Structure 1
Amino acid sequence: MKKTLLFSLLVFISLNKAFAQENPVINLKEVVVSDIRLKRYAEGHKVTELRDSTVRQQNNSFTTLLAFNSNIYFKENGFGMVSSPAFRGTNASHTAVIWNGININSQLNGQTDFNTIDPLSYNSIGIRSGGGSVQYGSGAIGGSVHLNNDLRFDDHFEHRVLLGYGSFETKTINYNQSYGDSRWSSNFGINYKKSDNDYKYLKTDTKNVNGEFERLNFNFNAGYVLSDKQVMRLYHQSFIGDRNLSGTLVAEGRSKYKDNQYRTQLEWGRFGEKATSRVKVAYLQEEFRYYENKDSDNHSFGKVSTFLARYSLDMKLSKVFRLNSFLEFDNYKGKGDSFGSPTRNDFSATALLKHQVSPKLAYNISLRQDFSSDYSSPLVFSLDGKYTINEYYDIQLNASKNFRTPTFNDLYWQPGGNLDLLAEQSYQIDLGHRLRFGGITFNLNGYYIATEDMIKWLPGSDGIWSPINIDDVRIYGLEGELGIDYKIGKNQTIAFKSNYAYTVSEDQSTKEQLIYVPFHKANASVAYGILDFNVFYQHLYNGPVSIIGGELEGYDVANVGINYTGTLQKKLKYTLGLSINNVFDTYYENIALRPMPNRNIQSQLILNF
């Protein structure tokens, strides 16, 4: 009780001081960034940002992009089907997806399907390793993936068109536009992708049946400078998906799944020399229709609407102290054939204090308390910092308590929902080393995670599955990352990037590795550029994983490609690209009995003007 009162007092004092601040000048750098916490309050965390060139090069899917360029392991129910991440040995619901500063994980199953995300819809994509529940709420235990639409307030008017065609009748059309001046900025994008997805199952005489999919992503983002102190920003995204669900080696698929997602948020910001205050409101809606027989009109339905309101304050208390605090209210309304019409109200209060001890040492102390109408939430905290030894070497450290809340499915699913569930709790510590020598960077992280009250669905004596707080899981591991950028003469460059992860994720009741968590995962890529040509090679290794009743073999898979960039006119640039995926025609499954595609070709044309 004393901790809660002290914490509430800290937030109250900071909010009151904000209204007394004089804010004479706008800082346009604040306007450009959609998630300031990722850049300003993450000294002790490993944060990786994917380059735009990497995103455009890996035009297959968001899952493929991250599998080949991060330490996240993915479970895919066949190519283009449901894709679930396993970040640092945790479950899919332990990876938070943050869209322009707000958590968009499903209120039904607690996770995000990464095959519904179009990476070309964002200006920047960040990966934040380790616990982040204080800043980003439920589910940020293994790490978080950040999707940002940053707004540019300078004179520009740019267009990008991408046309792609490849094996299995896969077609992609993407258009992006960006416009801005000193007072107005906007960007607009639309992406459509369709595929027959009928690849052959290697080692068999059959192929992927019932795997067709098509999806449409639309996004619009805009900002307007109201005065030298005030800015309004709007973000919107729509996703419409229609896909059949692939079968397995032992059973052909006949079902299909339609899902729509709509997200809109409006933000007002007041900027000054010492304080920035923001008011944000957002409306999110997710809905699905599942057809067990695609040829029948009979289906199950589910829908959740979310309303979010947040007030945040970021203020400079002195030359060495900075405080960020925010209050947030969330209202959830659900409706579905299997969980009725539940509602939930959540309120949270958060405070982050940054201390710049010296030019070499900075740390953050953070607290968060959630209050919910459905469950009891713990007080969570975080301590992270960075110490710069010299110009070549930094040490990072973070420790935190994190949580995941029960979802509507966990609480209300009929039959089986459990209204007595507690929020999951997780404690972790992470030590990181950062080395830089010219164009060479090397990162090494060691971490330990202890999770309590993990929610797990188990069959009861009556045969009905129900979730309970049961699992006690211990996770520890090492992550290494090596990057090399080297310029050879005037017109040649070479870039190399590799990641390696060793992960132990052990159920303390059985002393066995959790299913679908590989002990070893590694990837590497090398790109060579000469004049207007760029050639790249990517390699992914996933070690064996435990599955129910056995083990799934590990696999190596590789992609190779070439791009040529030219200019037709002064303002019209084009890029022709060709890639061969799974170049060695490797048979592999990342979920049992669900083979992934054989060797296939993808081509693309990108126009920039």
Structure 2
Amino acid sequence: MDIKRSLVLLLSSYGCFLFGQEKTIDTVTVFDNQMKRVKLFHPIRTLSPADIQKNSANLSDVLRFQTSLYIKENGRGMVSSPSFRGTGASHTAFVWNGININSQFLGQGDINNIPVFGYDQLEVKAGGGSIIYGSGAIGGSIHLNNELNFNKGAHASLYSEFSSFETYNNFAKASYSNDKFSFKVSGNYFISQNDYEVEEEEYINRNGRYYNTTFNVGASYKIADRQTVSWQSQFFDSSQHYPIFVENGNKTKYETQSTRSLISWDIQKSTFSNSLKAAFTEENFQYFGDISGPKTSGATGKNYIFKNDFNYFFTPKLNLNVISEFQVNKGEGYGSGIGNISRNVGSLAGLLRYFVSNNLRFEAGIKKDFVEDFDSPILYSFSGKWNPLRWYHVAFNMSRNFRFPTFNDLYWEPGGNANLKPETSIQGDMTHEFLFGNFKLSLSPYYMDISDYISWLPTQYGYWAAFNTNKVESYGLESQLTYYKQINKHRFKLNAGYTYARSINKETQKQMMYVPLHKVFGSFDYQYDFLKLYVQGMFNGLTYTTTDEKRADALDPYFVLNTGISATLSKKYTLGFRVNNATNTIYKAVAYYPLPKRNYSIYGEINF
């Protein structure tokens, strides 16, 4: 038996990534080729475009109601940031088609300034991932993925939605592919006056208007047998008017524009694969202290990225993955004291994977980053997965991860600190998976320790400054229960999760701010022929908003329920209706900014 045939037979029994590429290289181009390998050892929460549409107002709602993340949102559609396993916003890596897109200025991603539509998959990974996805992947990572299919012909769809608070959401996409060429384009326009009112809190979301526009385009061409050249780009423009508390308050706004583009050359052979990527990302933002005046502050950041991912099979059971990357990060600030700055960043990582048998596999990784002007730590990881019984699987992961200081941390005037050290973390988790008929239950206890935590603190001189301060210890439990059953034309689907997160400042022994101890989320979907119905709920426990665990300032626990119904006729025309916050709950994700009470949306979709 030749090595190619034995490789395919062996990896097909594993459900492994390379078999998937052997099988599907003629039908689909996947830009984040590492994700299939990550899934061999880590549980991943995958959301389809249909899942995303259930919470179409913004990406914050998608993640709040369908994942374990806690989302800090300063009112609907405003500044928003995620928290994985009790960590901060800068400890979450946003990854667009395999490229880390966290801001070089803030070190994080503003969720509501990342498009919600236009992806083929949105995937959420909890736990450290700096070896593959770089700085900031300490608490977890959020993956925004696109795919290009071959031999699918021409397709198009139109989606239009009207919602409460004068909200309009329109999305269109089209694609064409044959056996050699694939092309896909999409566009989204979203606008909302966002003037909701919460009478019980004596709150009106004045000056809450926001809009955004997104354009995505991608193409892939087979230049030879098992070789493709692919391109993916995204253009985004957004404006947010920040809410004010009184009618005659000073109105402000924030505008941002981003460009992301990558070219990939992929080779897939029987014993090796290689993916060479060149990418360019640009972020521009402007803050207006007076909505009708000139900008008060702003910045422009440009990143040039070159990344190569080489994977070689010594034997069908043993492979070596080498990932090298080089970046040039450039920035220029306005009104912040940040001038023209530039930083070179390089890295070299190696991962060795050994497939002992159909039911046992291991992965060991090591990485060295080379960050200009910083002494970066050596990173490592070790993972394994074992399926000892048909109904029980177990996986474990441990890793060292890091985040280097951002441009704002280093150069903002006043307050920037050029002597900052990178944050480092040690983390471990173990996932126990139980299979009972159509039910699947996973339990994942975890532990994380973060050193040299970068914090902005008040100084004796009257301004805030960046320091390496306290150490943070985080531990807890993530769990998920899924169920699927089909009886004739009846389909039932359940997805529920519970998280317990204890995140402690080691110096004060107090819970970190905006880290709820308990969160429960879940959804139930029912489909009969052309009719679909879903119910979606989320409970959030007590959440402290101060460093001293002051109960009077904490956010009270709350439960929010959403529901929707839709009908599809002739497999082309869909009409749906949603009720958001059907329980009419009064709740906040950030102090002083209530989120909307009961509201509605109606939508239609046409597929060609």
TM-score normalised per structure 1: 0.93
Aligned equivalent of 2:384: 385
| Correspondence 1:156-167 to 2 at 5 A | 156-167=153-164
> In the alignment, is the contact (CA less than 8 A) between 1:446 and 1:477 conserved in 2?
yes
Distance 1:555 1:433, change over 3 A: same
* 2:286 is the counterpart of 1:289: yes
> In the alignment, is the contact (CA less than 8 A) between 2:27 and 2:150 conserved in 1?
no
> In the alignment, is the contact (CA less than 8 A) between 2:29 and 2:220 conserved in 1?
no
* 2:546 is the counterpart of 1:543: no
> In the alignment, is the contact (CA less than 8 A) between 2:27 and 2:151 conserved in 1?
no
Alpha-carbon distance in 1 for matches of 2:40, 2:444:
14
Alpha-carbon distance in 2 for matches of 1:386, 1:335:
46
- Using the TM superposition, give the Cα deviation of residue 223 of structure 1 relative to its aligned residue in structure 2, in angstroms: 0.5
* 2:546 is the counterpart of 1:525: no
C-alpha root-mean-square deviation of aligned residues, in Å? Answer: 1.6
Matched AA of 1:271 = Q
Aligned equivalent of 1:12: none
> In the alignment, is the contact (CA less than 8 A) between 1:279 and 1:311 conserved in 2?
yes
> In the alignment, is the contact (CA less than 8 A) between 1:246 and 1:253 conserved in 2?
no
Matched AA of 1:492 = H
Report the 3-state secondary structure (helix = DSSP H, G, I; strand = E; otherwise coil) of the residue aligned with 2:62: helix
> In the alignment, is the contact (CA less than 8 A) between 1:459 and 1:466 conserved in 2?
yes
Report the 3-state secondary structure (helix = DSSP H, G, I; strand = E; otherwise coil) of the residue aligned with 1:504: strand
Distance 1:530 1:239, change over 3 A: same
Distance 1:207 1:71, change over 3 A: same
Matched AA of 1:353 = L
| Correspondence 1:253-292 to 2 at 5 A | 254-292=251-289
Distance 1:89 1:250, change over 3 A: farther
Alpha-carbon distance in 1 for matches of 2:217, 2:50:
22
Deviations 1:455-492 (A, max 9, x none): 0111111122111111200000001101111223x221
Alpha-carbon distance in 2 for matches of 1:535, 1:46:
27
* 2:54 is the counterpart of 1:54: no
- Using the TM superposition, give the Cα deviation of residue 213 of structure 1 relative to its aligned residue in structure 2, in angstroms: 0.6
Distance 1:411 1:140, change over 3 A: same
- Using the TM superposition, give the Cα deviation of residue 372 of structure 1 relative to its aligned residue in structure 2, in angstroms: 1.2
| Correspondence 1:471-510 to 2 at 5 A | 471-488=470-487, 490-510=488-508
- Using the TM superposition, give the Cα deviation of residue 31 of structure 1 relative to its aligned residue in structure 2, in angstroms: 5.2
| Correspondence 1:5-84 to 2 at 5 A | 28=25, 32-84=29-81
Matched AA of 1:515 = M
* 2:339 is the counterpart of 1:340: yes
Matched AA of 1:539 = G
Aligned equivalent of 2:431: 432
Alpha-carbon distance in 1 for matches of 2:90, 2:261:
23
Matched AA of 1:405 = F
Matched AA of 1:340 = G
- Using the TM superposition, give the Cα deviation of residue 249 of structure 1 relative to its aligned residue in structure 2, in angstroms: 7.7
Matched AA of 2:102 = N
> In the alignment, is the contact (CA less than 8 A) between 2:285 and 2:300 conserved in 1?
yes
- Using the TM superposition, give the Cα deviation of residue 304 of structure 1 relative to its aligned residue in structure 2, in angstroms: 0.5
- Using the TM superposition, give the Cα deviation of residue 29 of structure 1 relative to its aligned residue in structure 2, in angstroms: 6.1
Alpha-carbon distance in 2 for matches of 1:196, 1:38:
38
Deviations 1:146-185 (A, max 9, x none): 1110111223211111000011000011001121111111
Report the 3-state secondary structure (helix = DSSP H, G, I; strand = E; otherwise coil) of the residue aligned with 1:119: coil
Aligned equivalent of 1:360: 359
- Using the TM superposition, give the Cα deviation of residue 252 of structure 1 relative to its aligned residue in structure 2, in angstroms: 4.5
> In the alignment, is the contact (CA less than 8 A) between 2:231 and 2:263 conserved in 1?
yes
| Correspondence 1:108-123 to 2 at 5 A | 108-123=105-120
Matched AA of 2:444 = N
- Using the TM superposition, give the Cα deviation of residue 26 of structure 1 relative to its aligned residue in structure 2, in angstroms: 9.9
* 2:600 is the counterpart of 1:597: no
Alpha-carbon distance in 2 for matches of 1:595, 1:58:
18
Report the 3-state secondary structure (helix = DSSP H, G, I; strand = E; otherwise coil) of the residue aligned with 1:545: coil
The size of the alignment, in residue pairs, is: 580
Aligned equivalent of 2:167: 170
Aligned equivalent of 2:299: 302
> In the alignment, is the contact (CA less than 8 A) between 1:247 and 1:594 conserved in 2?
no
* 2:229 is the counterpart of 1:232: yes
Aligned equivalent of 1:575: 574
* 2:556 is the counterpart of 1:553: yes
> In the alignment, is the contact (CA less than 8 A) between 1:27 and 1:272 conserved in 2?
no
- Using the TM superposition, give the Cα deviation of residue 59 of structure 1 relative to its aligned residue in structure 2, in angstroms: 1.8
Matched AA of 1:224 = Y
Aligned equivalent of 2:514: 516
Deviations 1:370-418 (A, max 9, x none): 1111322111011011001122221010000000110000000011111
- Using the TM superposition, give the Cα deviation of residue 250 of structure 1 relative to its aligned residue in structure 2, in angstroms: 11
TM-score normalised per structure 2: 0.93
- Using the TM superposition, give the Cα deviation of residue 27 of structure 1 relative to its aligned residue in structure 2, in angstroms: 6.4
Deviations 1:422-477 (A, max 9, x none): 11000011000112233211111000000000101111111221111112000000
Identity of aligned residues (%): 35
| Correspondence 1:160-239 to 2 at 5 A | 160-239=157-236
Distance 1:181 1:146, change over 3 A: same
**More displaced 10-residue stretch of structure 1: 295-304 or 533-542:** 295-304
* 2:90 is the counterpart of 1:93: yes
Aligned equivalent of 1:19: none
Alpha-carbon distance in 1 for matches of 2:210, 2:59:
15
Matched AA of 1:155 = K
Alpha-carbon distance in 2 for matches of 1:60, 1:392:
39
Report the 3-state secondary structure (helix = DSSP H, G, I; strand = E; otherwise coil) of the residue aligned with 1:295: coil
Report the 3-state secondary structure (helix = DSSP H, G, I; strand = E; otherwise coil) of the residue aligned with 2:112: helix
- Using the TM superposition, give the Cα deviation of residue 595 of structure 1 relative to its aligned residue in structure 2, in angstroms: 0.9
Report the 3-state secondary structure (helix = DSSP H, G, I; strand = E; otherwise coil) of the residue aligned with 2:590: coil
Alpha-carbon distance in 2 for matches of 1:504, 1:438:
33
Deviations 1:482-503 (A, max 9, x none): 1111223x22122111111000
Report the 3-state secondary structure (helix = DSSP H, G, I; strand = E; otherwise coil) of the residue aligned with 1:139: coil
Alpha-carbon distance in 2 for matches of 1:343, 1:225:
36
Alpha-carbon distance in 2 for matches of 1:268, 1:71:
35
Report the 3-state secondary structure (helix = DSSP H, G, I; strand = E; otherwise coil) of the residue aligned with 2:65: helix
- Using the TM superposition, give the Cα deviation of residue 288 of structure 1 relative to its aligned residue in structure 2, in angstroms: 0.4
- Using the TM superposition, give the Cα deviation of residue 543 of structure 1 relative to its aligned residue in structure 2, in angstroms: 0.8
Aligned equivalent of 2:455: 456
Unaligned 5+ residue runs, structure 2? 1-21
Aligned equivalent of 1:406: 405
Report the 3-state secondary structure (helix = DSSP H, G, I; strand = E; otherwise coil) of the residue aligned with 1:260: strand
- Using the TM superposition, give the Cα deviation of residue 251 of structure 1 relative to its aligned residue in structure 2, in angstroms: 9.1
Counterpart of 1:322 (choices 304, 319, 324) is 319
Matched AA of 1:486 = K
Report the 3-state secondary structure (helix = DSSP H, G, I; strand = E; otherwise coil) of the residue aligned with 1:456: strand
**More displaced 10-residue stretch of structure 1: 545-554 or 242-251:** 242-251
* 2:144 is the counterpart of 1:147: yes
Distance 1:29 1:480, change over 3 A: farther
Deviations 1:546-575 (A, max 9, x none): 1125312121111111111111xxxx6111
Aligned equivalent of 1:466: 465
Deviating beyond 6 angstroms after TM superposition, the runs of 4 or more aligned structure 1 residues are: none
Report the 3-state secondary structure (helix = DSSP H, G, I; strand = E; otherwise coil) of the residue aligned with 2:452: strand
> In the alignment, is the contact (CA less than 8 A) between 1:26 and 1:228 conserved in 2?
no
- Using the TM superposition, give the Cα deviation of residue 204 of structure 1 relative to its aligned residue in structure 2, in angstroms: 4.4
Distance 1:251 1:390, change over 3 A: farther
> In the alignment, is the contact (CA less than 8 A) between 1:306 and 1:332 conserved in 2?
yes
Aligned equivalent of 1:14: none
Deviations 1:264-283 (A, max 9, x none): 01111222111112221111
> In the alignment, is the contact (CA less than 8 A) between 2:49 and 2:119 conserved in 1?
no
Matched AA of 1:269 = D
- Using the TM superposition, give the Cα deviation of residue 36 of structure 1 relative to its aligned residue in structure 2, in angstroms: 2.1
Report the 3-state secondary structure (helix = DSSP H, G, I; strand = E; otherwise coil) of the residue aligned with 2:50: helix
Report the 3-state secondary structure (helix = DSSP H, G, I; strand = E; otherwise coil) of the residue aligned with 1:67: helix
**More displaced 10-residue stretch of structure 1: 292-301 or 444-453:** 292-301
Deviations 1:322-377 (A, max 9, x none): 11112111001110121111110011001111100111100110111111113221
Aligned equivalent of 1:8: none
Unaligned 5+ residue runs, structure 1? 1-24
Alpha-carbon distance in 2 for matches of 1:278, 1:54:
30
